[in-house]
A and B are shown apart, each in its own frame.
Chain A
Amino acid sequence: MKLREIVELLDAQVLCGDDMDLEIQTACGTDMMSDALAFIEDQGMLLTGLINPQSVRTAEMLDMRCICFVRGKVPGDDVVELARQRGIAVLTTRYRMFSACGKLYQAGLRGGDC
C-alpha cells in the first residue's frame, strides 16, 4: 500500500515525509516499544500513541518507513526532526488506535502474522 493511500484512509496530517509513493507492506500498533521491537517485518509502519523520541528510535532500529501517531497526538519538533533525519515519514491521525488499525486492515494492510 502506498503512503498516499494510508494518509487518505486515516485522514492524516503529514508532519514529515514527501515520498507519497513510499510502499508500506506491514503495520504494528502499540504503545509499548518492546512489543514493536519484537515485530520484524520489512517495509513496516508503526502506529502508536507514544510521542517521545523513543518511538522514532524504535522505528529506526526496525527499518520502518513511517510512524503514525493516533488519537490526534502531535509530537514535539525535535521528534519530527529526528524522524526526518532518519528518512521516516511522520503522520498524525485523529482516529484512535483500534479504528486506525481497523481502517488499514480493512484496506488490505497486514500485521505480518496473518
Chain B
Amino acid sequence: MSSSSVQPIVQLYEVPGNDFTRAGEASSKVKGILKKLGYDPDAIRRVSIAMYEGEINMVIHANGGIARVEIFPDRVEILLSDQGPGIADVEKAMEEGYSTAPDEVRALGFGAGMGLPNMKKCCDEFRIDTAIGKGTDVYMIIRVRGSKS
C-alpha cells in the first residue's frame, strides 16, 4: 500500500491577529502531536520552525489567519492562509534581511527578515501564493527523512 493512500491526521487552527503573546500556540500543538506520534526529531524540528515563523508572519504582517496541517506517515503538509495585505514582491521578501516590519515588532524579537528564507530552508516544498489586498497562502511540505514516499 502506498503511503499516499493513507488518511492524514488533519488539524485546523485559528491564529489570532491581535494577540502577539499567543503567537506560536498552533505550532506548539502540532509539535506536541508529532512528538506523541513518535516522528523523527529532525522532521519535528523543521516542521516547528517553519510553522512558527509562518504563524508569526501571519500575526505581525496579516492580522492573523488560519493554519491547516495534514500529518501523513512520510510527510507533514502545512497551509498558512491569511487575508492580509499580500506580498508585493515575493522575490524580495525571500531575501535574507528584507523586512517591512515596524520597530515595535523588532522590539518584540521579530522583524529581522530571516523568517521566509528559513522557512524555505526547513521545507522540502515551499510555495507562496499572494495577491495584493486579498491575502497570502504559504504552502509547505516537510518530508520525514529516510521514509519512503
Residues of A within 8 A of B (CB): 31-35, 37-38, 40, 48, 50, 52-55, 57-58, 60-63
Contact = CB atoms under 8 A, between A and B. Distances in A.
8 contacts: A32-B110, A32-B114, A35-B114, A48-B109, A52-B21, A61-B48, A61-B49, A62-B49
Contacts of B106: 32
Given A55-B109, A57-B27, A57-B52, 19 more contacts: A32-B106, A32-B110, A32-B112, A33-B110, A34-B111, A35-B114, A37-B49, A38-B114, A38-B121, A40-B49, A50-B108, A50-B109, A52-B20, A54-B20, A54-B21, A54-B109, A54-B110, A58-B52, A61-B27
A37 B57 CA distance: 14
B118 A32 contact: no
Chain B contact residues: helix, strand, loop or mixed: helix
Contacts of A53: 21, 24
Contacts, number: 72
A34 B112 contact: yes
A37 B24 contact: no
Contacts of A60: 24, 28, 31, 48
B45 interface: yes
Nearest to A79: B21
Chain A contact residues: helix, strand, loop or mixed: helix
Contact of A61 (B20, B52, B110): B52
B82 interface: no
Closest 4 CB pairs of A and B: A57-B24, A34-B114, A61-B48, A33-B109
Nearest to B42: A40
